[in-house]
Amino acid sequence: MKWRGRKQSSRIEDRRGQRSGRRVSIGRRGGMGGGLGILAIVVVAWFLGFDLTPMLTGQGGLNAPSGQMQTSAPTPEQQARAEFAAVTLADTEVVWASVFQTQLNRRYDPPTLVLFNGVTQSPCGGASGATGPFYCPADRKAYLDLAFFDALSRQLGARGDFAAAYVIAHEVAHHVQNELGILGQVNAMRARASEAQSNALSVLIELQADCLSGVWAHFAETRLGTLETGDLEEALNAARQIGDDTLQRNAGRVPRPHTFTHGSADQREGWFARGYQNGEVAACDTFSTAQ
C-alpha cells in the first residue's frame, strides 16, 4: 500500500502516553487452562469482539493502581504506525465522501480515530488490549491500540500493511452503517432478541462492514491508486484469519456456528470480495441475502 508521505487525517485523537483512570486487573481463573496462554486468549478475544479482562481476573492477579497508569512514549515504529493509520483514515474520508455523494446523494460526516496504548475509556465502555479495535456509535469514534497490529501479523498470520488498513476500514465501515441508520436499528433489534438471534444479527452487521470495507478498497485502487501488488490478497487473507471458525479452531475448539458473532472465514472473505468487485453500497445488503 502506497502510504508514506501522503496526506494524513486531522481526525486523530492521540491518547498514547496519557493516564487512564480505569482499573485493570489481569490474572488467571481456574478452568482457563488447556495449554492456551493469556496472550492467545486475548488475541482470540480481540477478533471475537469480547473483552476478556474480567474473565482473566482472579486470585493472584496483577492490579494497576486506579487513576495512575502511565504508558511509555511512542517508539519510532509506533509513530510510523500512527502515521499509517492517519493516512488510511484520510483515504476513507475521500472515498466515503465521494460514495455518499454519488451513490446515496448524502453528505458524509467522518469519524474520529482514537489511538491509545494499553487502556482508555469510551462511552461504550472501557477499552483495553483485550477489546481490540472497535467503533463506538455513542461518540462516533473508532478506537485502536496500535499494538493490535503485532497480534494481527504475528499471532494470526494476517501480515502486510493492507491487512492493517482493512482493520481500520472495517471500523470506519461501522461508522458508515451508523451514518445510514443501520447500526442503531440492528442494535435495537438485538436488545430484544434471544442470544442466538442476537448473534445472527451481529454476523450480518459484521459481514456488511466487511463488504463496505471492500467498497473502500475498490475505490482506494481505482480512484486513489494506492494498492500495490499483493495488497488485495493481504486483505482477503486477513478476512479469513479472523473468521469465527478459524479463531475457534486455532483456540483448540470445534467451530460452533450458533456462537459466531462475526461470520465464518468463507463469509468474511466472500463479502469483502463482493464489495471490492462491485464498488457499490447496494451490493452490501447482507440482511436481504440472509432472508
- Quick: pLDDT tens for 268-282: 999 999 999 999 999
28 domain-assigned: no
pLDDT of residue 74: 66
Contacts of 205 (CB under 8 A, 6+ apart): 174, 177, 182, 183, 186, 286
Q: Does the pLDDT of residue 70 top 50, yes or no?
A: no
14 domain-assigned: no
280 domain-assigned: yes
- pLDDT per position as a tens digit, 128-142: 766 678 999 999 999
Rounded percentage of the chain residues whose pLDDT exceeds 90: 55
56 domain-assigned: no
Q: Find cell 463488504 and name the residue.
A: 211
Q: End-to-end CA distance of the chain, in Å?
A: 37
43 domain-assigned: no
C-alpha distances (whole Å) from 290 to each of 63, 196, 204 are: 45, 15, 8
8 domain-assigned: no
Three-class DSSP category at 258: helix
286 domain-assigned: yes
Q: Quick one: how far is CA 42 from the chain centroid?
A: 14
Q: Does the pLDDT of residue 49 top 70, yes or no?
A: no
Q: Does the pLDDT of residue 51 top 70, yes or no?
A: no
51 domain-assigned: no
What span, in angstroms and rounded, lies between the C-alpha atoms of 174 and 169?
A: 9
**Number of domains into which the chain is organized:** 1
Q: Residue 219 sits in which domain range?
A: 72-290
- pLDDT per position as a tens digit, 18-30: 755 443 322 223 3
The structure's pTM equals: 0.81
For all residues of the chain together, what is the average pLDDT?
Answer: 81
Q: Torsion over CA of 47, 48, 53 and 58, rounded to 10 degrees? A: -120
Confidence of residue 91 (pLDDT cuts 50, 70, 90): very high
